[in-house]
Amino acid sequence: MATQHSRSVARLMMAPAVVLLLGWMLVPLTMTLYFSFKKYLPLRGGDLGWVGFDNYVRFVSSSSFWPAVQATLMIVGGVLMITVVLGILLAMLLDQPMWGQGVVRILVIAPFFVMPTVSALVWKNMFMDPVNGLLAHLWRFFGAEPISWLSEASMTSIIMIVSWQWLPFATLILLTAIQSLDSEQLEAAEMDGAPVLKRFYHIVLPHLSRAITIVILIQTIFLLSIFAEIFVTTGGAFGTRTLTYLIFQRVLESQNVGLGSAGGVYAIILANIVAIFLMRIVGKNLDA
């Protein structure tokens, strides 16, 4: 029974969280917008006045823009493909009866809890190092020439590292979704002689479609802004400079704040396009 009194108490209880988040959103956003219309070089003259949409045009027409878009798409697309496909297979396997299921699940989930700088450095040095890395040993064992992973196959390497980090997330969510599948339905289909692939396409996949969508949307938002993995491995070299990394370099390394801010606005718009779809699903779930 919500009375007028309890409503105003409730409003008061929500106020700190709402005000803080509003400030967190509006203040930096306004500043980014403000800088994006200025020629602003803190180390070379400071605020050099308004330039209209100049930064927006220059950011897009710079020679590093399209490669950055390409790198971003390749990382997001590659990681999504690997984690979703392997995640579905792994979730289906983990759902089967077996001994030591709890332990296996822990082994599979563990990479998610490893901090990004650790996983990137461990992969970079102990696995992908062309001389002492474990993969180099493996290559030599089979008589092949070891690969300098992070320079010759930089994109593949980054996708491998990030996929290793995110596979647990996809698996765990898809496993949770699979466990809510009615096993009687599957058994009935098996009795009727439906082959494995048919059962998968007509029963399992439709049941998982919402969970898959959620995995894709949430991962996309996080993957669009991966930073540490590139920061400690290639530093944006060898074609791994993503949009996020490009903006970081413009803003903090070359201190071209106006140009970087325009890039930031593009990044915000891009993330919001993905976010709208995610919010629709989450919002629908709230009504239920």
Partner 1 sequence: MARAVTTRRKSLNTILAWVIGLLIFFPILWTILTSFKTEAQAIASPPLFLNFDWTLENYAIVQERSDYMRFLWNSVIIAGGSTILGVIIAVPAAWAMAFVPSKRTKDILLWMLSTKMLPAVGVLYPIYLLFIRLGLLDTRGGLVVVLMLINLPIIVWMLYTYFREIPGEILEAARMDGATLKEEILYVLTPMAIPGIASTVLLNFILAWNEAFWTLNLTAVDAAPLTAFIASYSSPEGLFFAKLSAASTMAIAPILILGWFSQKQLVRGLTFGAVK
Site for partner 1 in 250-269 (CB under 8 A): 251-252, 257, 260-261, 264-265, 267-268
Task: Please report the beta strands in the chain, taking only residues with DSSP state E, as ranges in sequence order.
Answer: 38-41, 46-50
Rule CB under 8 A: is residue 113 a binding residue for partner 1?
A: yes
Rule CB under 8 A: is residue 118 a binding residue for partner 1?
A: yes
Rule CB under 8 A: is residue 98 a binding residue for partner 1?
A: yes
Least separation in angstroms between CB 9 and partner 1: 8
Sequence-separated contacts (24+) of 100-107 with Cβ below 8 Å: 105/175
Q: Give residues 204-233 in contact with partner 1 (rule: CB under 8 A).
A: 210-211, 214, 218, 221, 224-225, 227-228, 231-233
- Binding test (CB under 8 A) with partner 1, winner from 48, 60, 81, 115: 115
Residue 36 or 78 having the CB closest to partner 1: 36
Beta partners for residue 144, in sequence order: none
Residue 14 or 60 having the CB closest to partner 1: 14
Rule CB under 8 A: is residue 126 a binding residue for partner 1?
A: yes
Q: Where are the alpha helices (DSSP H) in the chain?
A: 4-36, 54-61, 65-94, 101-109, 116-122, 134-141, 149-152, 154-179, 183-191, 196-199, 205-224, 228-231, 243-248, 257-287
- Nearest residue to 105 (alpha-carbon basis) of 160, 159, 175, 53: 175
Rule CB under 8 A: is residue 97 a binding residue for partner 1?
A: yes
Q: What x-and-dash track marks residues 38-77 binding partner 1 by CB under 8 A?
A: ----------------------------------------
Rule CB under 8 A: is residue 237 a binding residue for partner 1?
A: no
Integer CA distances (angstroms), 2 to 5, 222, 287, in order: 8, 38, 19
Rule CB under 8 A: is residue 31 a binding residue for partner 1?
A: yes
In this structure, the number of other CB atoms found within 10 A of the CB of residue 244 comes to 22
Residue 39 or 124 having the CB closest to partner 1: 124
In this structure, the number of other CB atoms found within 10 A of the CB of residue 157 comes to 26
